[in-house]
A and B are shown apart, each in its own frame.
Chain A
Amino acid sequence: MNPSELPDRELDEMLKEWRAPQAPAHLRASVFPQSRAPWWRRSIPVPLPVACALVILMATGAWRLLTVDSGRSELQPVSELRPVIIRGQHVPN
């Protein structure tokens, strides 16, 4: 071996000095995205127009429900019952 060359043992020692960095922790989630959260915490992508339409629909529904409720609340229970008997022409007296 040329004296300007490293012996095997020294070369092996030097090679050990080069260490690779640790793999990033988020790598697993990027490979298995479904496994990163329980099902009740997962989300699905919804297009913005669809989301807006859903919000408008829900707001309209809620408004209608409230107005129907308020219409009902104007009706009051009858305090005195006054029945009126209407006799037809064909009923004999």
Chain B
Amino acid sequence: MTPQAAFDQYHQAVYSFAYRLTGRTDVAEDLTQECFLALLRAPHRYDPARGTMKVFLLAITRNLALKHYRDSHDDPFTEEAQSASDPRHALDISSAVATAVAALPQLQQEALVLFEYEGATLEEIAQIVGAEVGTVKSRLHRARERLRQTLAPYRKVGNEHESI
């Protein structure tokens, strides 16, 4: 697969993943660009025997996101998480979910985003984050437990969500 073909097929997945990790469109754009430039510079680093191109690209994006926060001396992962970790401050369900996910511990957050939004399997997540499948499963379970509690005030009543 050429870098151009990989871009056409996966740039939205990479961008979405970066956005959900960082909560910022400008950073997501930078990370997506850097991810594909890394592929352009060293396409031989991708080994199809070790996983799919999507997994390879998401792993690069994750490392770039971590590097970004190390360089900017910022706490992973979002500004929203720091300023409004309480989802009850959010105005709608989408913002409440974004805030609640951002407030998760980093390792739980990335596992949840990869599983729920990128459709990655447990094995793929384990490969991306460099952990055991059992560990990923546990992080995912804890992330969902936490979200169940924090998002409970937004439970649907009939067709409408409860307002705070």
Residue numbers of A with Cβ under 8 A of B are 1-2, 4-6, 8, 10-15, 17-24, 27-28, 30-32, 35
Choose from A4, A12, A31 the contact partner of B36 (Cβ within 8 Å): A31
Asked if residues A4 and B149 are in contact (CB atoms below 8 Å), the reply is yes
Q: Which 4 A-B pairs have the closest CB atoms?
A: A20-B16, A23-B15, A18-B97, A5-B148
Shortest CB–CB separation between residue A20 and chain B, in angstroms? 4
Q: Which residues of B contact A35 (CB under 8 A)?
A: 4
Choose from A18, A19, A21, A31 the contact partner of B7 (Cβ within 8 Å): A31
In this complex, the member of A6, A13, A28 whose beta carbon has the largest number of chain B beta carbons within 10 angstroms is A6
A5 and B149 contact, Cβ closer than 8 Å, known pairs A11-B144, A31-B37 = yes
Interface residues on B, range: 20 to 34
Asked if residues B94 and A17 are in contact (CB atoms below 8 Å), the reply is yes
Q: Which residues of A contact B149 (CB under 8 A)?
A: 2, 4-5
Q: Which residues of B contact A10 (CB under 8 A)?
A: 155-156
Choose from A2, A20, A24, A31 the contact partner of B40 (Cβ within 8 Å): A31
Assembled-state Cα–Cα distance A10/B154 (Å)? 10
Give the contacts of B1-26 with A (CB-CB under 8 A).
3-4, 7, 11-12, 15-16, 19-20, 25
A14 and B12 contact, Cβ closer than 8 Å, known pairs A4-B149, A5-B149, A31-B40 = no
Shortest CB–CB separation between residue A23 and chain B, in angstroms? 4
Q: Which residues of B contact A6 (CB under 8 A)?
A: 147-148, 151-152, 155
- Tell me if B116 counts as interface (CB < 8 A to partner A): yes
Q: List 11 A-B contacts (CB under 8 A).
A: A8-B144, A15-B117, A17-B97, A18-B93, A18-B101, A20-B16, A23-B12, A23-B15, A27-B29, A27-B32, A32-B4
Q: Which residues of B contact A4 (CB under 8 A)?
A: 149, 152
Shortest CB–CB separation between residue B92 and chain A, in angstroms? 8
Shortest CB–CB separation between residue A36 and chain B, in angstroms? 12
A27 and B101 contact, Cβ closer than 8 Å, known pairs A6-B155, A10-B155, A14-B93 = no
Asked if residues B36 and A11 are in contact (CB atoms below 8 Å), the reply is no
Shortest CB–CB separation between residue B34 and chain A, in angstroms? 9
Give the contacts of B88-141 with A (CB-CB under 8 A).
93-94, 96-98, 101, 116-117
